[in-house]
Structure 1
Amino acid sequence: MPVTESPLRGRTAVVTGAARGLGAAMAGDLSGRGAKVALLGREERTLARVRDSLPGVAECWEVDVTDDRGMARAGAEIRARLGPPSLVVANAGLAEGGPFAESDPAVWRRVVEVNLIGSAVTARTFLKDLFGTRGYFLQVASLASIGAAPMMSAYCASKAGVESFAHALRAEVAHRRVGVGIAYINWTDTDMIRSADEYAVLRELRGHMPPPARKVYPVEYVAGLVTAIERRRPSVYVPRWLRSTQLMRAAMPPVVTMLSRRELPRLAAVEPFEATGLLGAGGRADQADSPSSHP
């Protein structure tokens, strides 16, 4: 069969949260399809390693997605070096776990800021470029956007927020021929998820989910959603069975509450619940770079 050239070839793609995990894997897939890739993240050295591993043209910028001015500077440099973006992937994200009542307010707020406000700043930075290129904005969401879970209140709230934001943005820019997609993903084998499994309560809560929902998927498999980007899909589900959760959406909160009422006391009797702080290497890097971490 003839090989069809990717519509992404020669176009500029921006990926936030590209230092590791899903962002790095998606950047690799995009580069392999001929896109010029702009990698955005918090860790300059790690970003540079990802950049150097890509087969095509790529540049990296160390920037905080919640920093409007920093993102504006990065956007200007991306336009100058790579050209106006045709694709923007809002992937940057943080997570923390533990009881809400005992959570650190600054950590809880930071998760919401990066996941939700950071996505909005990303869109604001590049939306005029997408108007010009009639491009596509992909918001990375989660199963947590559809069904919230205990002990992950900041993450669930922020992912529900980015879903709503993307729906609103899609309706607002449709007449400008800009596509807005939402990627619903499940547990992905990244350092964030591996870090979560180090905490008994988070590990046990995942273990009590139905078998398909508790499975951890390889990052390369999830990064395959780049195919949906080429088709400018309004929504993509990885794995595909996640689409069925939309049909059960209204029933999920009472079911989760019923199971939690039964299981949380049992788990607390085995090991006291504790706040996890920001999860994974990305969370540690964000914490180290935050103003409050310096004297």
Structure 2
Amino acid sequence: MPKQSLAGQVAVVTGAARGVGAELARALSARGATVALVGLEPKELERAAAECGPDAGWWEADVTDLAALRSVAEQVVDRYGRVDVVVANAGIAIGGSFLDSDPEAFQRVIEVNLLGSTSTARAFLPALIASRGYLLQIASLASMTPAPLMTAYCASKSGVEAFAHALRGEVANQGVRVGVGYLSWTDTDMVRGADEDDVMREMRTHLPWPTNRTYPLAPAVQRIADGIARRSVHVYAQGWLRGYQLIRGQIPLVLGRIAPLQLRAIEPRLRETADARRGLVGRGGAADEQARAARKVGS
């Protein structure tokens, strides 16, 4: 089927330096949108923006910094005259057991994934109200399937899902539509980084099909772009996630029976290697840690 055009629209994507964000910026650009990329890695942002056409722009900003995001929103509107679509995509993760996790890293996941999304909405909603636009909050299978060894990520993604659903009713009468995007394990730096941990990778392989495999990035992002073009309430990067909505209430009960058996088998290895997984996962996590370290030195 022909792809729905986004010609004449301005789309902002956070977490756009790599992974889903960068690929989505390219996909929206290919449909005619002018894209504004926001993230932490200037070189990667510049490279990704260059692939999105001559009108694409990029801004370095931490999504947990509301003042910086408001400044970005003002600059985007000044440059392009409007904002029609905002995708709150920025996210990081840690893995491992809750008690073994580093409290600072755990808190940072909540700050970036949840509070970063609320700051993104707060900064850009005035522009979206002016254009009667669309906000897409990227959630995850993790918001439907709370899984052991992913407590921070699951909590943050459940939070952004609830936030987006609640916000939808508040801004609908102002002409803004709000959607939630769901992805399963998708081939990104974050997932590849998580798979570098042998114990976490083994735990994931024991998840029930189809949650135990990694899905290619490009088709997943095209589904998200389709949802943006339709301004959908729910956007599913993998089609089977739609069915999971119908059974999500039963999933924690099933996991409550299966997970203890799997954890019992790997617990000795999990404890022995706990120190190796106290940091953020993947290149995006490393970029976040580097940016925070630079800010501490600067202050």
What range is the shorter-chain TM-score in? Answer: over 0.9
Q: Equivalent residue for 2:285?
A: 283
Aligned length: 293
TM-aligned CA deviation for residue 55 of structure 1: 3.0
Partner deviation per Cα, 1:7-60 (whole Å, 9 max, x = no partner): x21211000000000000000011111111100000111100111122352000
**Is 265-274 or 100-109 further displaced after alignment?**
265-274
Task: Quote how far apart the aligned CAs of 1:211 are.
Answer: 2.3
User: CA-to-partner distance for each residue in 1:86-120, whole Å, 9 max, x for gaps?
Assistant: 00000000000111111111100000000000000
Contact 1:19 1:39 in 2 (8 A): yes
Opposite residue 137 of structure 1, the aligned amino acid is L
1:152 aligns with 2:154: no
Q: CA deviation at 1:294?
A: 4.4
Counterpart in the other structure of 1:258:
257
Partner of 1:188: 186
Shift of 1:268: 2.0
2: distance between equivalents of 1:80 and 1:240? Answer: 38
C-alpha deviation, 1:259, in angstroms:
1.2
CA distance in 2, matches of 1:161, 1:128: 22
Structure 1 99/293 Cα, relative in aligned 2: closer, same or farther at 3 Å? farther
In 2, Cα distance between equivalents of 1:249 and 1:118: 26
After superposition, the C-alpha distances for 1:187-210 in whole angstroms (9 at most, x for unaligned) are: 010011001011122101210112
**1:176: which partner in 2?**
174
**Which ranges in structure 2 are unaligned for 5 or more consecutive residues?**
none
Is the contact made by 2:49 and 2:58 (CA closer than 8 Å) also made in structure 1?
yes
Segments of 5+ residues of structure 1 without an aligned counterpart are none
Task: Find the counterpart in structure 2 of residue 230 from structure 1.
Answer: 229
Q: Which moved more, 1:58-67 or 1:205-214?
A: 205-214
Please state how far the C-alpha of 1:263 moved relative to its aligned partner.
0.9
CA distance in 1, matches of 2:246, 2:51: 41
- Residues 34, 56 of structure 1: 8 Å contact kept: no
Deviation at 1:151, TM superposition (A): 0.8
Shift of 1:83: 2.0
Distance 1:144 1:5, change over 3 A: closer
- Taking the TM superposition and a 5 Å limit, the aligned residue runs for 1:1-295 are 6=5, 8-224=6-222, 225-270=224-269, 272-274=272-274, 275-291=277-293, 294-295=296-297
1:179 & 1:151 partners in 2: Cα distance? 34
Runs of 4+ in structure 1 deviating by more than 6 angstroms, as ranges, are none
Three-state SS of the structure 2 residue aligned to 1:88 is: strand
Q: Which moved more, 1:41-50 or 1:237-246?
A: 237-246
